[in-house]
Amino acid sequence: MRVFGVTGWKNSGKTGLMERLVAEITGLGFTVSTLKHAHHMFDVDHKGKDSYRHREAGASQVILASRNRWAVMSELRGAEEPSLADLLGKLDPVDLVLIEGYKREGHDKIEAHRAATGQPLIAPGDETIVAVASDSAPEVSVPVLHLDDTAAIADFILARVGL
């Protein structure tokens, strides 16, 4: 399974780029899954729902299934956060997994960058960043693509991962 990351600082356009890339790449006939790291507490369930009540009662895992989709929720209950490799191993096989976040992991990444945020580029100090997608023209030693040119970014990623 091929993996490629989208990284950058908060409000740099990562999620929008991920969304556009999934649509673009699946539109080309490839299968894509995504994996996103969250630095904060999150919940995909809602208080009062049966599955929420199961987790609150102490279930280690809850699978919620319907004819349209299924989801598994695993409670860590104090255990270590799973590694990226462990999480990738839980995905069904696809052509490409796009990873949002995980700045410090060793896979290839494109950095999303918006000049208006005032944040410095990560790319100059990180050899895993193999391109920058920006709304400006930063001077870096890796290719720079326009943040809104989804087709060019998708082409770059697909060539980089060999698809």
User: What are the sequence ranges of the domains in the chain?
Assistant: 2-41+82-161
Mean pLDDT over 134-162 rounds to: 97
Mean pLDDT across the chain: 93
Instruction: Determine if the pTM surpasses 0.75.
Output: yes
Q: What are phi and psi of 146, to 5 degrees?
A: -70, 135
pLDDT tens digits along 41-64: 666 777 888 888 888 888 888 888
pLDDT of residue 57: 87
CA distance 121 to 126: 10
Structure tokens at 18: 């991920």
Give SS3 for 12.
Answer: coil
CA distance 161 to 38: 25
Which one-letter amino acid corresponds to residue 157? I
A 10 A CB-CB count for 53 gives 13
Which one-letter amino acid corresponds to residue 76? L
**Are 140 and 123 within 8 A, CB to CB?**
yes
**What's 115's DSSP letter?**
G
pLDDT of residue 46: 76
CATH number of 2-41+82-161: 3.40.50.300
